[in-house]
């Protein structure tokens, strides 16, 4: 077994226009002062990193790494959640997702997809230049508008959708493989990879690509009423990243999983700051540790109630307290009597 690394913090939700949140150096110092030891970097924010430059210049990648290390931190992983979303996007969402891309490709879905694919390939090379072995992203979605089967889905629609999804991602996965980096899909509503079954369908279409791995975030499973603990039993060999994010689901006679078009604070299912929700993190950390998960525990803060700075301050302590320092000996070693083959045979009567 290995001790999980952390606590880390995903910077995406904390970047802002005011100091210390408007610069990589100062936000890293802020995070370190709270007790975090790692940062996960959003690659779409130029205040954090120039992704193309990090892919093409090891010198620049070392400079970014140096800024983080000067604050006493490590880079846990890079993230391309926004770019990954655009690798596969149904036309119904074109206008909503255009803001994820630069202006020169907006309104042109083919150009936008090509840009997103290139971004992912840059991310593979940048991760390698930074000495990282895992990367976070979204799968995007061609089928999400059909997630509820009404009107009835035509025969073969899902098969065609996952065939196309795999066609788009396989060349990207190959580049990640060339760079020795696992591509970890955050299983998430709104993505075609939103639960275990959909991930398995994708994995089959990619010929079980060894780099098609998982970012485990239990909060999304609470909101789907999915067993997030047995999920680890099924997929632990593919789990290479871990977002520590809390959530709660409180259905009523008026509202359930779909939320009634309400905003986050009024939904039956909503994300919460660490410790304020329903996720059993003690069981999660125990399972991941027992399964030899060797990556980072990274806080992703999303809460409609608590102030983010309070969530971050509490989150660092919360994760630190949940990380299990693995034992180097068995608890009953004191009672051992020693053994050898002859002694074992004697005990067995043979």
Q: Report the distance separating Cα 40 and Cα 59, nearest Å.
A: 20
Q: What is the pLDDT of residue 133?
A: 98
For residue 334, pLDDT beyond 80: no
Sign of CA dihedral 93, 97, 103, 105: negative
For residue 2, pLDDT beyond 80: yes
Instruction: Report the domain count for the chain.
Output: 1
Q: What is the pLDDT of residue 331?
A: 80
Domain span including residue 244: 5-348
Q: What is the average pLDDT across 52-57?
A: 98
In terms of DSSP bridges, do strands 269-272 and 246-249 run parallel, antiparallel, or are they unpaired? Answer: antiparallel
For residue 335, pLDDT beyond 80: no
For residue 82, pLDDT beyond 80: yes
For 257-284, write each residue's pLDDT tens digit: 999 999 999 999 999 999 999 999 999 9
Which tokens is 117 given? 């694919």
Q: What is the pLDDT of residue 174?
A: 98
Shortest CA distance to 247 belongs to which of 281, 214, 213, 293?
281
Q: What is the pLDDT of residue 215?
A: 99
Share of the chain above pLDDT 70, in %: 100
* Average pLDDT of the residues of the chain: 97
CATH number at residue 25: 3.20.20.150
Q: What is the average pLDDT across 15-44?
A: 98
For 314-333, write each residue's pLDDT tens digit: 999 999 999 999 988 888 78
For residue 135, pLDDT beyond 80: yes
For 187-217, write each residue's pLDDT tens digit: 999 999 999 999 999 999 999 999 999 999 9
């Amino acid at each position: 077994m290995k001790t999980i690394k952390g606590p880390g913090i995903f910077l995406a939700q904390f970047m802002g226009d005011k100091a210390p949140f408007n610069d990589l150096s100062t936000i890293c110092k802020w995070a370190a002062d709270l007790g975090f030891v790692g940062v996960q970097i959003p690659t779409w924010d130029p205040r954090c990193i120039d992704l193309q430059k990090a892919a093409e210049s090891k010198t620049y990648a070392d400079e970014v790494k140096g800024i983080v290390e000067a604050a006493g931190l490590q880079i846990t992983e890079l993230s391309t959640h926004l770019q990954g979303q655009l690798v596969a996007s149904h036309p119904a969402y074109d206008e909503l997702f255009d803001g994820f891309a630069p202006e020169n490709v907006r309104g042109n879905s083919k150009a936008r997809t090509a840009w997103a694919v290139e971004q992912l390939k840059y991310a593979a090379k940048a991760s390698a230049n930074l000495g990282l072995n895992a990367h976070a992203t979204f799968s995007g979605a061609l089928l999400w508008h059909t997630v509820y089967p009404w009107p009835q889905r035509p025969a073969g629609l899902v098969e065609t959708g996952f065939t196309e999804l795999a066609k788009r991602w396989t060349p990207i996965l190959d580049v990640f493989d060339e760079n020795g980096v696992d591509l970890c899909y955050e299983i998430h509503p709104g993505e075609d990879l939103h639960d275990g079954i959909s991930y398995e369908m994708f994995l089959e279409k990619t010929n079980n690509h060894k780099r098609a791995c998982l970012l485990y975030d239990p909060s999304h499973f609470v909101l789907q009423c999915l067993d997030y603990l047995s999920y680890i039993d099924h997929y632990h060999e593919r789990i290479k990243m871990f977002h520590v994010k809390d959530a709660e689901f409180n259905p009523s006679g008026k509202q359930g999983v779909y939320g009634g078009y309400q905003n986050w604070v009024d939904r039956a299912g909503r994300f919460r700051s660490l410790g304020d929700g329903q996720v059993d993190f003690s069981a999660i950390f125990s399972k991941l540790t027992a399964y030899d998960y060797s990556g980072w525990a990274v806080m992703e803060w999303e809460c409609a109630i608590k102030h983010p700075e309070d969530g971050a301050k509490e989150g660092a302590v919360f994760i630190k307290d949940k990380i299990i320092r693995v034992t180097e000996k068995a608890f009953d070693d004191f009672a051992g009597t020693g053994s050898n083959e002859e002694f074992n045979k004697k005990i067995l009567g043979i």
